[in-house]
């Protein structure tokens, strides 16, 4: 009986030790929550949104240290959600980029707790168009198209192709001004509203510039250096020209309508002169047009 009781105590002791050993293994397999966050880092999460709070799927999110080292990177989900882990407390730069949007860089300060940060991306848009002649609607090749913002800063510029088309990418949505010039045509400047996303299309018409040419003569001979003035029906001076040695003048890039042309030589000039009783006096006179 004594032997049986001893054996029972030994078995019970063995079972107790075995149970204690298994409990220790389970504690090792399930780390505490603090251990998980210290190994994975501090989460930085949020949503990437665009115009009208619409989610921006597949936006690329990159987290870098202030020293420029990449510490996290992912693509946003279909609902715009993202989550990257900062390796520890400190300041980081969060970069978001997506096709059709302007990239955004933000500074985030990470402490011991998870950081929630939503990213707003502004869309970029494109502009395409065609420049045509107002007379016969034919394309105008080689026309220079300039896009400027409301402050007058040039955003893009380039010539039209052989079919009169042009295109600008990566434009900020909003109003801009298009200025178009081409040889033989009147220049134009028109406002254009760029859509928040996508490509905006436009058509521009240039009116051919009219030309006036002629000769100024006096006593049947060409009059050199005569001043020719072009005046519209309202009495405004549209342009001025000076004749050459052949007496010719020209005005270009004119709108259709009625004009008055005036021509004049040098205006008279009066100077004071005293002649003495002997010798030959010299007195030069220089004539010039007003404003010269």
For the segment 200-219, the average pLDDT, to the nearest whole number, is: 89
For the segment 202-211, the average pLDDT, to the nearest whole number, is: 89
- DSSP classification of residue 123: B
For the segment 102-111, the average pLDDT, to the nearest whole number, is: 92
Map residue 80 onto helix, strand or coil: coil
State residue 289's pLDDT score: 76
Query: What is the pLDDT confidence band of residue 257, given thresholds at 50, 70 and 90?
Result: confident
Q: Is the pTM of this model over 0.75?
A: no
State residue 281's pLDDT score: 64
For the segment 58-71, the average pLDDT, to the nearest whole number, is: 95
Pairing of strands 42-49, 115-116: parallel
pLDDT for 115 beyond 70: yes
State residue 292's pLDDT score: 66
CATH topology of domain 210-292: Immunoglobulin-like (2.60.40)
Homologous superfamily (CATH) of 125-206 is Immunoglobulins (2.60.40.10)
State residue 39's pLDDT score: 46
State residue 146's pLDDT score: 97
193: tokens are 């509203």
* 19 burial via Cβ count (<10 Å: 0-12, 13-18, 19+): exposed
Homologous superfamily (CATH) of 40-120 is Immunoglobulins (2.60.40.10)
Q: What are phi and psi of 221, to 5 degrees?
A: -120, 145
pLDDT for 100 beyond 70: yes
d(C-alpha 276, C-alpha 62), whole Å? 96
Map residue 2 onto helix, strand or coil: helix
| 26-51 confidence digits (pLDDT tens) | 444 433 333 333 346 899 999 999 87
Which tops the pLDDT comparison, 90 or 208?
90
* pLDDT-above-90 percentage for the chain: 51
Residues of the chain with CATH 2.60.40.10: 40-120, 125-206, 210-292
Least confident of 76-85, 164-173, 282-291: 282-291
Map residue 125 onto helix, strand or coil: strand
d(C-alpha 55, C-alpha 223), whole Å? 74
pLDDT for 16 beyond 70: no
| 220-253 confidence digits (pLDDT tens) | 888 899 999 999 999 999 999 999 999 899 988 7
pLDDT for 12 beyond 70: no
């Amino acid at each position: 009986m004594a032997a049986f009781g001893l054996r029972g105590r030994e078995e019970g002791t063995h079972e107790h030790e075995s149970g204690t050993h298994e409990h220790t293994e389970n504690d090792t397999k399930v780390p505490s929550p603090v251990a998980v966050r210290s190994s994975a880092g501090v989460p930085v999460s949020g949503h990437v949104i665009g115009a009208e709070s619409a989610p921006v799927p597949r936006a690329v999110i990159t987290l870098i240290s202030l020293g420029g080292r990449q510490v996290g990177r992912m693509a946003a989900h279909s609902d715009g959600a993202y989550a990257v882990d900062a390796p520890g407390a400190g300041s980081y730069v969060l970069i978001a980029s997506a096709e059709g949007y302007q990239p955004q860089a933000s500074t985030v300060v990470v402490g011991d707790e998870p950081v929630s940060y939503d990213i707003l991306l502004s869309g970029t848009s494109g502009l395409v168009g065609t420049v045509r002649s107002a007379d016969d609607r034919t394309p105008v090749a080689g026309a220079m198209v300039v896009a400027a913002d409301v402050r007058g800063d040039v955003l893009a510029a380039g010539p039209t192709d052989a079919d009169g088309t042009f295109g600008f990418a990566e434009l900020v949505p909003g109003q801009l001004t298009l200025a178009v010039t081409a040889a033989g045509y009147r220049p134009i400047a028109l406002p254009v509203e760029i859509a928040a996303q996508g490509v905006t299309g436009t058509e521009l018409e240039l009116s051919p510039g009219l030309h006036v040419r002629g000769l100024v003569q006096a006593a049947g001979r060409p009059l050199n250096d005569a001043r020719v003035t072009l005046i519209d029906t309202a009495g405004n001076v549209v342009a001025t020209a000076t004749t050459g040695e052949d007496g010719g003048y020209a005005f270009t890039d004119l709108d259709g309508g009625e004009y008055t042309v005036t021509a004049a030589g040098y205006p008279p000039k009066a100077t004071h002169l005293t002649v003495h009783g002997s010798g030959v006096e010299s007195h030069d006179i220089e004539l010039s047009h007003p404003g010269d």
